[in-house]
Structure 1
């Protein structure tokens, strides 16, 4: 049986990722996010804006 690579993120340096700052329009939480579908980590709302 073949295997390709090790565990995901093994060589991933989180500090080098280009995150953006967001504000939740429902609870006011400010946080950094990465990706296309940003969700507030505090209240799980997708109602966020980039700041």
Structure 2
């Protein structure tokens, strides 16, 4: 786990309300949350909710 100047947080990803996304640049399918979702593979913000 990586932190930058703050306390570490143990987050249980199964309890978070994630949504499924598809990257329109590289085709990667992934789960994400938040207002600005970025593809974990290519760092593109050109994604759509599926």
Q: Does TM, normalized by the shorter one, top 0.5?
A: yes
Where on the TM-score scale, by shorter chain, does this alignment land: which range? Answer: 0.7 to 0.9
Q: How many residues align?
A: 44
Gaps in structure 2 of 5+ consecutive residues: 1-6
Runs of 4+ in structure 1 off by over 4 angstroms are none
Which is higher, the Rg of structure 1 or of structure 2? 1
TM-score under structure 1 normalisation? 0.76
Secondary structure in 2 matching 1:15: helix
Secondary structure in 2 matching 1:27: coil
Q: How large is the Cα RMSD of the aligned pairs?
A: 1.2
How big is the shift at 1:8? 4.1
Secondary structure in 2 matching 1:31: strand
